[in-house]
Structure 1
Amino acid sequence: MNRVGVIMGSDSDYKVMEDALKVLREFEIDFEAKISSAHRTLERTVAWVKAFEAQGGKIIIAAAGLAAHLPGVIAGATTLPVIGVPLSSGSLQGIDALYSIVQMPPGIPVATVGIGAAKNAALLAVQILASQDKPLNDKVKKYRAKMMNDIEVKDEALQKMVSQGIKGIVI
């Protein structure tokens, strides 16, 4: 059973959404990825959402640029949590997509991450799943501990360089 669905409106969105797929693989989360449009293939998109929900899917991550209707259309077609990823495109570089996703009407929420933040969308999906899955929650805690350790190691290297008076520090 695929627990997370990742949907994008175009194959050009894959460059950004690949980060989400990497995170899901890292946490060993079964997922399916789909290209389908809220405008050009509306019926196909809604049919996919209904099928994903019927097969036991838990969360949908939806990416969209410009008017960014895909996450909202999906949220309107399901009661599953939907995480929107606004994509940088057009003259507003994703600000329009961000506003479109974050300003959903009352009653149809879409969780929203930053512009192009597919990795955070996947991590949020993992954390939602982990709230009811102890082994997955333990993996999330280990992931966080590793991030903390990585920062501490980098800071130790910085402190050593600073104390030695090294200029042009690059870590």
Structure 2
Amino acid sequence: MSKPFVAILMGSDSDLPKVQAAIDVLKKLNVGVEVRVHSAHRTPDATHEYVKGADQRGCAAFIACAGMAAHLAGVVASLTIKPVIGVPIDAGPLNGMDALLSTAQMPGGIPVATVAIGKAGAKNAGYLAAQIIALQDPDLAERLRGDRKANADEVLAKNEALQETLA
């Protein structure tokens, strides 16, 4: 059986600078990742084909990143029963608010876990996908615990430095 991976789909290659945060998290945690540009509207057949194929090849979770109309996560969710995490991209005149609503407001029975708009949301999508896989992977769970501890240690070190500056 192949190692589980996360499939990241983005509606446009211009989304990559924001989506990179999810890729970086998954790579740091040693989680396999595939990244593709697919559009719910402009390439529906290719999107369907990729999702179905990734599902069959062992994809454990999908991350779908799109701005404006942001139907990509919903389309992906309609094609699989694997977890789908939607990342609204801050694009267009509404700066991602339209994408947030399009991603979050799914009909009952077709869930999409929706994270924050933009880069912070992409980062959290990477962590959430890793946490989903960690349910069945104790080594990954330990890497996640280590990452959390490193983050906490960094904050505590910054506080200590601040206290020294203020003294």
Q: Does 1:98 align with 2:114?
A: no
| Aligned-pair CA distance for 1:54 | 0.7
| 4+ runs deviating over 2 angstroms | none
CA offset digits 1:65-105 (Å, max 9, x no partner): 00100000000111110000000011110000001101101
Superposition TM-score, scaled by structure 1 size: 0.93
| Aligned-pair CA distance for 1:19 | 1.0
Alpha-carbon separation, structure 1, partners of 2:13 and 2:165 = 44
SS in structure 2 opposite 1:5?
strand
> What residue number does 2:110 align with?
108
Percent of pairs identical after alignment?
A: 46
> What residue number does 1:86 align with?
88
| Aligned-pair CA distance for 1:4 | 0.5
> What residue number does 1:141 align with?
145
Q: Does 1:129 align with 2:159?
A: no
| Aligned-pair CA distance for 1:131 | 1.4
Structure 1 residue runs without a partner (length 5+): 164-171
> What residue number does 2:68 align with?
66
Alpha-carbon separation, structure 2, partners of 1:67 and 1:36 = 14
SS in structure 2 opposite 1:58?
strand
Show the 5 A alignment for 1:33-52: 33-52=35-54
The one of 19, 23, 27 aligned to 2:21:
19
Task: State the number of aligned residues.
Answer: 163
Structure 2 residue runs without a partner (length 5+): none
Alpha-carbon separation, structure 1, partners of 2:79 and 2:43 = 14
Superposition TM-score, scaled by structure 2 size: 0.95
Alpha-carbon separation, structure 2, partners of 1:23 and 1:46 = 26
Aligned-residue RMSD, C-alpha = 0.8
SS in structure 2 opposite 1:4?
strand
The one of 151, 154, 158 aligned to 1:154:
158
| Higher gyration radius (CA) | 1
